[in-house]
Chains A and B, each alone.
Chain A
Amino acid sequence: MMLVLPGSAEGRVLKVPSLSLWGGIDPASGTLSDPVLPHHGESVAGRVLMIAEPVGSSSSSAVLLELLHSGKAPAAIVLGRLDAIIGLGILVAREMRWATIPLAVMAPSDQTRIADGQMLRVS
């Protein structure tokens, strides 16, 4: 696991095979809103959100900034490959002097060794 943006956090892993934060997470409630995804309806708050394949929208940074501002963000995010749009939400929160979270990259093949729901420290 390689840390892309600094921080230290621990939480239960919430695994999703692929996700666009915009369209995939309701920014007001912080719950997974796409009915075809596993964990539909669960909150990402305080979890280590592990996304094997980050996809899609350029508004994902806005959704993450909103979750960081409202205190409903995951404890940390682990991506199968770097998606700068997700990192950007954290960078802007830092400039706004709001709480931030660590962002890490872990290859999808390594993610298979992490069980959904297990505790994981990202630092």
Chain B
Amino acid sequence: MVQLTSTEREIAEGRDGPARAMAMRIVVETARMLGAVRLVPIASAHIDGCLYHGDSGTLFAERLVEGGGTIAVPTTLNVGALDLLHAGRVRLTPARAAMARRMMDAYRKLGCRPTWTCAPYQAGHRPRPGEHVAWGESNAVAFCNSVLGARTERYGDFLDICAALAGHAPETGLHIAENRRATLEIDASALDPRLVAEEAFWPVLGAWLGETASGRIAAFTGLPRQIDEDRLKAMGAAAASTGAVGLFHVVGATPEDPQLAPQHETIRLTGAMLHGARDRLSTARVHQGERVDAVAVGSPHFSFEEFRRLFGLLGGRKLAIPFYVCTGRHTLDALESAGLSDELQASGLTVVADTCIVVTPILPANTGLLLTNSGKFAHYTRPNTGYDVLYGSLADCAETAVAGRLVREDSLWR
């Protein structure tokens, strides 16, 4: 039985109009399904439900607009199905593009910030440690809980906007301190430090975690105390793709004390365990020098720092194959402010803004071979685009794009 306050009950009964009432009913019904005893007020929301999967989602969002819906807390938007900055980038049929556009418009009309990014935490939306929020998008949830130390469950599409309208979420799961304690220790101290220093190590570690944790909260020990935010972002995205990982701790690097119980399982991580996880991020066996059709990076959305690293790796060389970089408008604005727009233009990179290559049709064919440095792209490219996928580092992506053939540094993975 969910205990509602008088305010919560009044909202559900229509005090603030039909849209907030419907939103509150869905929040309360979800709370009941989960066995929550009450709701928790939230400070902000991030909405994943604005991505077009079919007309049903558009009709739902428009129902909320028709019901006079407005958000009750500051709210950012995840990617849509269209690149609003680059006309023609997305190959949706006109009918589906129109419905996707109607959906994006509806979410804007509800008062959400049109950030259109899966990395809202790099677009200025950073809840404080311990703050309750309602976030959607599995990578954003993992980052919010693990790296920021704020508290969110993994909100599914539609519950995210319902929580934003109602200003409340079910008090369940990762909102409750007890459920955030680690029950699994992963001792990484035996790993080769040269491997840990590699950027390409982190998505593999995440993919392995997702495969291994199966619902448990893990605490890593023996990893560096200073870990670049983009590495944690890539790790969380991979973990949330291969498994239902909403929170992980890295002792010394993430803000929350994992409070490992005295009796807990410990896994001593070895390089060999990670080699298997890395192999599973590729769907094809391809040798050095074989043809690759395209390169894609930016899941989660490429940051300003990642762009700078990529510019450095490319060194102004000409690209032999398409190189897609998925990013948010916040990063394009930052590049412009830093005077790097011309360098971006001259690089030959194909910028995808507001969306990405695995959520909407962008790649030119229905089959091919794609190289990525993203564990999340590696996981979703084959089922969502038909392309086979190879996993490599950002440096591998740059060298392969210049050569038009696979150039991959494998020495640390043997």
Contact = CB atoms under 8 A, between A and B. Distances in A.
B394 to A, nearest CB: 24
Interface string B223-264: 000000000000000001111100000000000000000000
Interface string A68-89: 1110000000000111111111
Contacts of A35: 283, 382-383
Interface in B144-182: 153-160
A63 B154 contact: no
Identify whether the interface residues of B are mostly helix, strand, loop, or mixed.
Answer: helix
Given A4-B33, A33-B383, A91-B29, A59 B56 contact: no
B137 interface: yes
Nearest to B244: A55
B22 to A, nearest CB: 6
Nearest to B381: A23
A56 B53 contact: no
A82 B22 CA distance: 23
Contacts of A82: 33-34
A56 B138 contact: yes
Given A56-B244, A57-B138, A95-B25, A63 B53 contact: yes
B54 A69 contact: yes
Contacts of A89: 156, 158
B215 interface: yes
A65 B25 CA distance: 17
Nearest to B136: A58
Nearest to B358: A23
A58 B244 contact: no
A61 B157 contact: yes
Contacts of B341: none
Interface residues of A, number: 40
Contacts, number: 122
A87 B156 CA distance: 9
B54 A58 contact: no
A9 interface: no
Interface of A: 4-5, 22-24, 27-28, 33-35, 53-63, 65-66, 68-70, 81-89, 91-92, 95-96, 98
13 contacts: A56-B244, A58-B154, A58-B156, A62-B157, A65-B53, A81-B215, A82-B34, A84-B30, A84-B33, A85-B159, A87-B33, A88-B26, A88-B158
Given A23-B384, A62-B156, A65-B157, 13 more contacts: A33-B384, A57-B138, A58-B160, A59-B157, A62-B158, A66-B56, A66-B57, A70-B56, A84-B156, A85-B155, A87-B30, A87-B33, A95-B26
Interface of B: 22, 25-26, 29-30, 33-34, 48-49, 51, 53-57, 59-60, 63, 136-138, 141, 153-160, 210, 214-215, 240-244, 283, 379-380, 382-384
Q: Which 9 A-B pairs have the closest CB atoms?
A: A85-B156, A66-B54, A69-B56, A61-B156, A62-B157, A62-B53, A88-B156, A34-B383, A65-B56
